[in-house]
Amino acid sequence: MSAKVLVLDDDQIIRLSLFHALTIEGFACTACSGIDELIKANSALNPDIILVDLCLGAEDGLDAFSALAQHNSKAKIIVISGADMDVIDAASHSAASQGLTVAGMLKKPFPLKTLVQLINEATQKSITPHSRPKISEQPVTAEDLHQAILNRELSLVFQPKLDINTQSLAGAEVLCRWHSKKFGTIAPDDFIPMAERSNGIIALTEYVLISAIQWLSEFLKIKTRYPAGLVSQDFHLSINISGKSLEDTNFLNKLDTLIGDYRVQPSHLMLEMSESVAIGQHAVAPEVLTRLRLRGYRLAVDDLGSGLASIEQLVRLPFSELKIHRRFVTSAMHAYESSLITSTLIKMGQGLGLSVTAVGVENADTVALLEQKGCHFAQGFHFASAMTPETFTHWLEKHANEQLPYRISTVRALNPQPLQPEDRFDRLTRLISRILHTSVSAISILEEEMCYLKAKVGISTKSIPADNSLCYRLLPDTDMIVIPDLMEDAQAADTPLVHVKPPYRLFVTHALRANNGCIVGSVFVSDRSVGNWSAKRQSQFKMLARLVEQEIRYSAASSIDVVSQISNVEAFTRRADALVAFAANAGHNVQVIKITALSHQSSVNEALQRVSKLGRNTFFDADDLGRTGEAQITAIFIGRSKDEVMKLLVKAELALKDLERQSPLIDSLRITHYSPDDMFGDSLQHIFCQPEKARSSHIIVRS
C-alpha cells in the first residue's frame, strides 16, 4: 500500500509540482495551501507524511505545527523551506517539542530523489532489520535476572564495526539479550537499569565478559580463513562496562585471568563506558582507567554528546576512542545542528589523537558524509544489525564476497603492471636501501592471491603467494609493521626471506594506499642483522614510503617523455620536489646536475636524445633523472658524497666527447653542478634559484 502524503505550501507552482511528482512516484498525495485546509485533510485522510513549508504568507509553519499538535496528528513531518538550515533546524525542534514526529528537513530547492528517499525511509514498515521482537511489559526483578543468568537465558549478539575508508571489519560490539521463558523478551533498556539499581550489574557484566571473551578467542582463531584484509589485524571486541563494575576492586584481576585463560590479548578488548561513567560528574577514579590502559586494554567513551561531560577530563584521561551518540548520526544528513555536532566531535577526536566511531549509521549518504568529515569507524543498520554468532559468521562470508573485489578493483584500476620493471621504482628501491642501510628493499603490489615485487634490491624473487607474504599482514588498515627478528616470528616461517643462508632477520614494511584509502601495495626492507628500529629510522622509512605511494598513483604512460624516453618535465619536477623535501626533513644533502645542450646543426629533439642517452648511461644510479627543458636533462642525488658526484661529472664529459667523435651533433654543452651545503629549501626550484651554490660548471664548445 502506497504512503499517504499531504503537502502544505502556499506557493501554487511548488504545491502543484510536488503533487504531480509525488503522484507519479506512486504516493497517494493531497495538496493544500493553508492551515485550515491542512487540518481538515489531516482528519479526513490520516496521512503518513506531511510536508510543511515554513513560509505560508500571513501564517507560518510554526502555526501549522501547533494546529497539528492540538489535533493529535500522528503523521511524520518533513520540514521544507528556503530559509537557512539553522532556521529550519530550530523550527524542527519546535515541532518535536510539541510532540510531533519530525522525519527530516529539506532546504529548497531540493532534488525530488532526495524527498522520495526521505519519505520511503520515514514510512518503512516494521519488516525491516530495525524491527524487534515483541517486548514484555511485565516488570522484572533482580532475582529474575539472577535466575536468568543461572538458567542461561541471556544470550549475546554482535554488531559489526567497519572501517569507513576500507570497509574492512575493524571490530564488533557485543550486546546482551534476554529471552525469558516466563516473561518473553525483556528489553535491555528495562533489565540493565534494573541491574544497575540492584547491584546485579556486577554479576551480569561478569557473565557477558566470560561469554564474549570465549567467542572472541574462537573468532581470532578462524579469522585467518577469510581473505587477507577483510578482518583488521587490529580487530577488537567492544564490551559495555558499568561504573559499579569498574569500582569493584577485583574487576581488573578477574579480567586479566579471563583473557589469560582464553589466550586473548588485552588490546583485543575495547571497554566502553557511558559518558557519565567515563568523564561525567560521577566518573570512576582516573587511577582505575589508567591501570586498564597500562595493562593494554582499550577504553572508549560511549554515546558522546548525550550529556554534559567535562572536556578537560576527556583530555586528561587515557581513552582510545570516542563513540558519537546515534541521535546525532542518524539525523546528520537532515539536521543542521546534528551535522555540526557530529563534525565537531570528529574534529575533537582527531585533535586528541583518538579514533572516532559513529553509531547508528543507516544509509550510504551518511557513510559518505562521515568519510568526508574524517570519521574512522561506523556501525549501524546500513552495514548490519546485531547478530547471533552463527549469523555473524554468515554475514562476514557475504561481506567477504562484496568487499574483496573493492580492494582488488582499486589495485587493478591503478594498472600498476606488477611484472613490468619501471625505472622510477627501481631508483626509489635503491634509494631506500642506501638511506636505511638494508640489504633488501622492494616495492610490492598486493593482488588477490599473489604479492608481486614491482621493484627490488637484494632479492631475486619476483612474486610471493599471499599466504607466505608478510606484507599482507598490513591489510586491511595497518600502516607499518616492524619485525625485529623473523626467526622469532611464528607467522614468518613460510616467507622466502628465512629460507636463504644466512637467513634475513629484520623485516619492516609500510603500506601503500590509493586515493580512496585502500592498501594496494607495500614497500619493505629486510636485513640479516637483528634489531628494533629507532624512532628516527622509522620516521625516515615512513617518508620514503610516502614517496613511493605518491608515485604509484600515477601511470607509467603519464610519466615518460616520448622524445627523451626519461621522465617528462611534470613527472620529474613532482618527484624531484618530493626528494628535496625528504632530504630537507631527514637531514640528507642534495646534489643536482643539470645538462643543457645547444646545437645549430640539428633539431632540438636530436640534441635532447643525445643528452638523454648520455644521462641514462652515466647517471644510471641517480635518485632521479628527467627532462627539465627543450634540450635539457637533470639528475638528482640524495645523501651522496661530493667526490662521488664529481666523478660522474667527469665521466659524463668523457662520454659526451666519445659520442661527438663518432657522430658530431652538439655545438656546446653546459653542465652545472648544484651542491648546496644546507638551507636548500624544499623544492628543486629553491636549489635552481641559488646559482651562487653551483660549485662547478663545465662548458664544451665545438670549434
Give per-residue pLDDT as tens, 192-251.
888 888 888 999 999 999 999 999 999 999 887 887 678 887 899 999 998 888 888 899
Instruction: Using alpha carbons, select from 244, 386, 199, 379 the residue that is nearest to residue 303.
Output: 379
- Longest alpha-carbon distance in the chain: 109
Looking at residue 358, its amino acid is A
**CATH 3.40.50.1980 for the 4-122 domain, yes or no:** no
Greater model confidence, 140 or 346: 346
DSSP 502: S
- Cβ proximity of 354 and 134 under 8 Å: no
Strands (E), 350-505: 355-359, 377-379, 440-446, 450-457, 463-465, 480-483
Average pLDDT, the chain: 86
DSSP 170: E
DSSP 589: -
Q: What percent of the chain has pLDDT over 90?
A: 43
- Cβ proximity of 340 and 369 under 8 Å: no
| 163 strand-pairing partners | 377
Name the pTM for this structure. 0.55
Order of strands across the sheet that contains 450-457: 463-465, 450-457, 440-446, 519-527, 506-513, 480-483
Label residue 577 by pLDDT band (50, 70, 90).
very high
Segment 512-536 mean pLDDT: 89
The fold of the 423-552 domain, in CATH, is Beta-Lactamase (3.30.450)
**Distance between CA 664 and CA 657 in Å, rounded?**
9
Residue in the structure block whose three cell numbers are 547478530: 387
Q: What percent of the chain has pLDDT over 70?
A: 93
For residue 213, what is the enclosing H or E element? helix 201-222
**Distance between CA 653 and CA 69 in Å, rounded?**
91
* Residue 501 in this model has a pLDDT that exceeds 80: yes
Label residue 274 by pLDDT band (50, 70, 90).
confident
Phi/psi at 30 (5° precision):
-135, 140
Segment 606-629 mean pLDDT: 91
Label residue 113 by pLDDT band (50, 70, 90).
confident
479 three-state secondary structure: coil
Q: Please state the domain extents for the chain.
A: 4-122, 142-404, 423-552, 569-701
Segment 320-349 mean pLDDT: 87
Task: Please give the pLDDT value at position 125.
Answer: 44
Predicted confidence (pLDDT) per residue in 548-569, tens digit = 999 988 877 778 999 999 999 9
Order of strands across the sheet that contains 590-598: 624-629, 632-638, 590-598, 668-674, 694-701
**Distance between CA 477 and CA 642 in Å, rounded?**
41
Segment 178-185 mean pLDDT: 87
* Residue 689 in this model has a pLDDT that exceeds 70: yes
Label residue 493 by pLDDT band (50, 70, 90).
confident
**CATH 3.30.70.270 for the 569-701 domain, yes or no:** yes
- Look at 50-64, 589-603, 629-643 and tell me which has the smallest mean pLDDT: 589-603
**Distance between CA 346 and CA 352 in Å, rounded?**
10
* Residue 476 in this model has a pLDDT that exceeds 70: yes
* Residue 622 in this model has a pLDDT that exceeds 90: yes
- Cβ proximity of 477 and 518 under 8 Å: no
For residue 388, what is the enclosing H or E element? none
Predicted confidence (pLDDT) per residue in 9-33, tens digit = 988 888 888 888 888 888 889 999 8
Label residue 696 by pLDDT band (50, 70, 90).
low
- Cβ proximity of 527 and 505 under 8 Å: yes
| 525 strand-pairing partners | 441, 508
Question: What is the DSSP code string of 40-99?
Answer: HHHHHH--SEEEEESEETTEEHHHHHHHHHHTT--SEEEEEESS-HHHHHHHHHHHHHTT
* Residue 179 in this model has a pLDDT that exceeds 60: yes
* Residue 128 in this model has a pLDDT that exceeds 50: no
Phi/psi at 534 (5° precision):
-75, 165
Label residue 130 by pLDDT band (50, 70, 90).
very low
**Distance between CA 335 and CA 357 in Å, rounded?**
19
478 three-state secondary structure: coil
The fold of the 142-404 domain, in CATH, is TIM Barrel (3.20.20)
**Distance between CA 438 and CA 377 in Å, rounded?**
36
Question: What is the DSSP code string of 279-334?
Answer: HSTTPPPHHHHHHHHHHT-EEEEEEETSS---HHHHHHS---EEEE-HHHHHTTTT
